């Protein structure tokens, strides 16, 4: 006897938003990459120079290119190669939006434990993305 497992409302809403966000983010990446490759916007690092930086550590790359770490890229989105970061950031943030989307559903179902876990996940992801916490070798 096979038992069918059905997705819950919050699973469906999470998946729908994730699917939509992935498609929007992918489109953003395609458009920004086309702008970068076309040369419409000048790059921070000229395309022929990119391979010489591939072998550098992050620390050495930042020094060699004069690039600032963290969210400083926002001030340079007018550069073709930096413009791509918008799509990357959007894709990274879709998970946060998905969790925010399901919290009201969980609360309505009085599933307070999962609602709390989802809210904590949002806080942890926002804190990690903020750059306030520093870890690793950076």
Q: Which of 7, 6, 8 is nearest to 108 (CA)?
A: 8
- Provide the phi-psi class of 110: left if phi over 0, else alpha when psi is between -120 and 50, else beta: left
Q: What is the pLDDT along the chain (138 residues), one digit of tens a residue?
A: 678 889 999 999 999 999 999 999 999 999 999 999 999 999 999 889 999 998 999 999 999 998 888 899 999 999 999 999 999 999 999 999 999 999 999 999 999 999 999 999 999 999 988 888 766 554
Domain parsing of the chain, residue ranges: 9-100
Six token digits for residue 99:
């969790």
Query: Could you tell me the pTM of the whole model?
Result: 0.82
**What whole-number distance in Å separates Cα of residue 6 and Cα of residue 91?**
27
């Amino acid at each position: 006897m096979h038992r069918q497992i059905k997705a819950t409302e919050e699973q469906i809403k999470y998946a729908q938003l994730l699917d939509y966000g992935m498609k929007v983010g992918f489109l953003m990446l395609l458009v920004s990459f086309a702008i970068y490759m076309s040369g419409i916007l000048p790059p921070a690092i000229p395309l022929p120079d990119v391979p010489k930086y591939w072998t550098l550590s992050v620390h050495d790359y930042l020094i060699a290119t004069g690039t600032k770490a963290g969210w400083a890229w926002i001030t340079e989105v007018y550069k073709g190669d930096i413009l791509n970061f918008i799509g990357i950031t959007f894709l990274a943030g879709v998970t946060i939006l998905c969790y925010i989307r399901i919290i009201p559903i969980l609360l309505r179902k009085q599933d307070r434990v999962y609602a709390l876990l989802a809210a904590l996940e949002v806080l942890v992801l926002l804190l990690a993305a903020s750059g306030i916490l520093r870890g690793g070798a950076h």
